[in-house]
């Protein structure tokens, strides 16, 4: 088999890249180890920045998102039992976020790829990357027991944190920077009415809690727990009483109901530099992980592939590798800003049980400052809603 761009992974990064390349007349094949049903049903986060919403619309895959997603003009921050709305719409000159689950984004992108006769090979195994430092890289894999090979001009490694692509960058070149947090998130999907029209991020002595939304009947909430905690210790009753203790205020009650799914994830920050090795480019979770507090994971994946698409398109237009050779540098500038923001939100909102009473008071004072200073609220809002893409454009134009 032969194609122009071989893409490993049908997550948001791989699917959006394939779709954007198709719109530029560039062919790609996606290799995915899971089934279509699995990728379309895995529950992940669900906040789309303004730039991701615009990208979905401009790429012609935003219709269902605009119909079924929930447009939010702000978030609510809570600490010491006081809740305050952050009017992000006003603070950013009219921008918003969309609450639309990641697996729905996946469904829309898969449908668009298949409708355009794009090739996604599901259920592959033993994916191997070869000759990435030459102009003719290859990907080998097994499909239904048969050995297959995909020859291409470029490989896009969009295979998430555990995929094989990043490992192809030699250890002598690869610089991995990471931060582990002493926090985990217990996430639930619950059959209840919508608790609040906007997201509530709550800091509490007992730990952080987040109230989110999915549909009028199903909601998504999170609780800070120890990352080594066993989910078997968390009965539905315990989860509800803990959520209520952390988010309820005088006169505001959290509606409860049957919990239909629950799991615990640990939190970490991770960046791999550089994101290119020869003709291999890694994007999304393959290159970086953010803690979910800033809601940046999906949005960063979408930002990476826009930079990558520009480089690949420039190559096919002029044969010039210059833009592609700056992919890593351009993408990392945005990634580090999102890392900084996610780290800041995480440390400001979670309760660190190893902290001294001095450190806890500084944290509460930071929340007091952030919720009372227009400058701080504006900074929070522009980062949460997503920094403008001019940063990348300016830089790219200087190449
Ligand atoms: N061979 C083929 N496919 C693979 C392999 C492999 N060896 N390893 C992983 N994959 C697939 C996974 O099954 C998954 O569908 O690559 C895809 C990677 O998708 P994501 O993990 O969703 O990563 P990405 O597209 O970068 O999107 C980042 O997803 O994990 C969330 O919170 C994260 O929102 C962020 C977003
Ligand atoms: C979610 O709805 O899943 C969600 C919302 C905000 C976050 C993380 C996850 O910061």
168/393: higher pLDDT:
168
Query: For the segment 230-282, what is each residue's pLDDT rounded down to a tens digit?
Result: 999 999 999 999 999 999 999 999 999 999 999 999 999 999 999 999 999 99
Q: What pLDDT is attached to residue 388?
A: 85
Maximum Cα–Cα distance across the chain: 65
CATH topology assigned to domain 5-71+97-177+268-353: FAD/NAD(P)-binding domain (3.50.50)
Any idea where the domains of the chain sit in the sequence?
Answer: 5-71+97-177+268-353
Q: What pLDDT is attached to residue 43?
A: 86
Query: For the segment 35-53, what is each residue's pLDDT rounded down to a tens digit?
Result: 999 999 998 889 999 999 9
- Ligand whose nearest atom lies closest to the CA of 187: 2
Of 226, 219, 224, 214, give the one whose Cα is nearest residue 254. Answer: 219
Say which range, 35-39, 161-165, 184-188, 394-398, has the weakest mean pLDDT: 394-398
Q: What pLDDT is attached to residue 397?
A: 54
Q: Give the count of beta carbons closer than 10 Å to the beta carbon of residue 182.
A: 14
Q: With helix as H, strand as E and coil as C, how does 247-264 read?
A: HCECCECCCCCCEEEEEE
Q: Is ligand 2 within 6 A of the CB of residue 213? A: no
Is-above-0.95 flag for pTM? Answer: yes
Q: Which atom belonging to ligand 2 lies closest to the Cα atom of 345?
A: 10
Nearest protein Cα to ligand 1, atom 17:
9
Alpha carbons 307 and 112: distance in angstroms, whole number:
21
Q: Is ligand 2 within 6 A of the CB of residue 293? A: yes
Q: What pLDDT is attached to residue 391?
A: 52
Four-residue CA torsion sign, 356, 352, 380, 339: positive
Q: How much of the chain, in percent, has pLDDT values that exceed 70?
A: 97
Q: Name beta bridge partners: 99.
A: 47, 70
Query: For the segment 211-223, what is each residue's pLDDT rounded down to a tens digit?
Result: 999 999 999 999 9
State the distance from the centre of ligand 1 to the C-alpha of 255, rounded, in angstroms: 33
Q: What pLDDT is attached to residue 394?
A: 54
Distances (CA, A) of 390 to 125, 331, 352, 386: 39, 12, 36, 12
Four-residue CA torsion sign, 374, 77, 289, 303: negative
| Mean pLDDT to the nearest integer, 359-377 | 98
Query: For the segment 104-125, what is each residue's pLDDT rounded down to a tens digit?
Result: 999 999 999 999 999 999 999 9
Describe the chain by its helix, strand, coil percentages, rounded to 5: 40, 25, 35
1 membership: H or E segment, kind and range: none
Q: What pLDDT is attached to residue 214?
A: 92
Q: What pLDDT is attached to residue 294?
A: 94
State the distance from the centre of ligand 1 to the C-alpha of 184, rounded, in angstroms: 20
Q: How much of the chain, in percent, has pLDDT values that exceed 90?
A: 96
Q: Is ligand 2 within 6 A of the CB of residue 46? A: yes
Q: How confident is the model at residue 390 (pLDDT cuts 50, 70, 90)?
A: low
Are 392 and 51 within 8 A, CB to CB?
A: no
Q: Is ligand 2 within 6 A of the CB of residue 220? A: yes
- Just list the catalytic residues: 72, 201, 292, 296, 384
């Amino acid at each position: 088999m032969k194609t122009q761009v071989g893409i490993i992974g049908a997550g948001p990064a791989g699917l959006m890249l394939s779709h954007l390349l198709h719109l530029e007349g560039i062919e790609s094949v996606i290799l995915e180890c899971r089934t279509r049903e699995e990728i379309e049903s895995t529950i992940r986060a669900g906040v789309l920045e303004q730039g991701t919403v615009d990208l979905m619309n401009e790429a012609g895959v935003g219709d269902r998102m605009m119909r079924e997603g929930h447009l939010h003009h702000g978030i609510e921050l809570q600490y010491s039992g006081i809740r305050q709305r952050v009017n992000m719409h006003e603070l950013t000159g009219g921008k918003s976020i969309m609450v639309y689950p990641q697996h729905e984004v996946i469904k829309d992108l898969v449908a668009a790829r298949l409708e355009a006769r794009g090739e996604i090979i599901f259920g592959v195994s033993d994916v191997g990357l070869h000759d990435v430092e030459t102009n003719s890289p290859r990907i080998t894999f097994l499909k239904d027991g048969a050995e297959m090979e995909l020859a291409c001009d470029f490989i896009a490694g969009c295979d998430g944190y555990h995929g094989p692509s990043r490992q192809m960058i030699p250890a002598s070149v690869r610089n991995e920077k990471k931060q582990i947090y002493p926090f985990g998130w217990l996430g639930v999907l619950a059959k209840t009415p919508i608790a609040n029209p906007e997201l509530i991020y709550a800091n509490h002595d007992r730990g952080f809690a987040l109230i989110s939304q999915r549909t009028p009947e199903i909601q998504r909430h999170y609780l800070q727990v120890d990352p080594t905690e066993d989910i078997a210790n968390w009965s539905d009753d315990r989860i509800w009483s803990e959520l209520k203790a952390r988010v309820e205020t005088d006169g505001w009650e959290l509606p409860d109901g049957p919990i239909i799914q629950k799991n615990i994830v640990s939190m970490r920050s991770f960046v791999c530099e550089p994101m290119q090795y020869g003709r291999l480019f890694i994007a999304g979770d393959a290159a970086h992980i953010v803690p979910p507090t800033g809601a940046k994971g999906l949005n960063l994946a979408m930002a990476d592939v826009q930079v990558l698409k520009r480089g690949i398109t420039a190559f096919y237009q002029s044969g010039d590798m210059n833009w592609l050779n700056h992919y890593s540098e351009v993408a990392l500038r945005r990634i580090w800003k999102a890392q900084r923001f996610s780290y800041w939100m995480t440390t400001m909102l979670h309760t660190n049980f190893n902290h001294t009473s001095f450190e806890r008071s500084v944290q509460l004072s930071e929340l007091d400052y952030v919720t009372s200073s227009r400058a701080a609220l504006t900074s929070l809002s522009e980062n949460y809603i997503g920094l403008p893409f001019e940063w990348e454009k300016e830089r790219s134009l200087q190449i």
